[in-house]
Amino acid sequence: AQKVTQAQTEISVVEKEDVTLDCVYETRDTTYYLFWYKQPPSGELVFLIRRNSFDEQNEISGRYSWNFQKSTSSFNFTITASQVVDSAVYFCALSEKRSGANSKLTFGKGITLSVRP
């Protein structure tokens, strides 16, 4: 069975600090996909990134960067120079290939990030 662990539950930082959100996953599949979603206070889930298991290149998008380490089954997310608008709950999720079109996402418990001015 697949599992996603986000050990951090709440993180509080001061604006402009860098912050890393950890994600560790478990799966028996060799092909899988990892995602990060953001859930602001308004409730909707916003897609941030998708990474497949064969692509271990790190990715940077503006202030956001992701570090995928297959050897440690981790897919960590770093926000550089955090801003108040980054305050939200962040979910890491895992999707296995073998379920095909019905492939469902398994979510971690989420990390509540609070950025103080």
Partner 1 sequence: GAVVSQHPSRVICKSGTSVKIECRSLDFQATTMFWYRQFPKKSLMLMATSNEGSKATYEQGVEKDKFLINHASLTLSTLTVTSAHPEDSSFYICSARDMDHSYNSPLHFGNGTRLTVT
The DSSP bridge pattern shows strands 64-69 and 74-79 to be antiparallel
Please, which residue, 82 or 95, has the CB nearer to partner 1?
95
Q: Which stretch binds partner 1 (CB under 8 A): 13-21, 56-64, 74-82, 96-104?
A: 96-104
68 near partner 1 (CB under 8 A): no
CA geometry: angle 9, 59, 117, nearest 5 deg: 45
Taking the complex as a whole, the smallest distance from the CB of residue 49 to partner 1 amounts, in Å, to 9
100 near partner 1 (CB under 8 A): yes
